[in-house]
Amino acid sequence: MPEYCGVISINPKTNAKRNRVEYEEQQFDMAILERALERAKLVTIDRVIDELSQSVEIEEVSQALAGQVVIDIRHPDAQEDQPLELPGIEIQTLPFYALNSRFKELDYTRQYLLYCDKGVMSRLHAHHLLSEGHANVRVYRPS
């Protein structure tokens, strides 16, 4: 599901040089990895969302109102395949991977509703933006 793996592009490409990778692996202190693995804990994505809600209140709305802007943060392929249409509501497309860096360019006097298919990426990004001090962001979850 692309939303849960939002940091992975559809067709990732690398230009790694085998000898460089092998050299860096030899330099790596494996004890660091072993300590990290000993301390690791498995958390399902649903729990991550629940834990986020405890530190910052993320407001969800089921209906967009005139004057609000819905930001479709889905991958551009999803935006193209299934365009979001809300008559009378301004919609902007801004993929999740560009949202945090470009949100500060938006009009801070407007209210923005983040939209994605399942609500996971929109909640994660809303949490981050609210934590950064942006009070004008909510999550759009149509009913």
Residues marked as catalytic: 116
Token pair, residue 139, equals 């999550």
Contact status, residue 125 vs residue 83, Cβ threshold 8 Å: no
**φ, ψ at 75 (rounded to 5°):** -60, 145
DSSP assignment of 77-118 equals HHHHHS----TTSEEEE--HHHHHHHGGGS-TTS-EEEE-SS
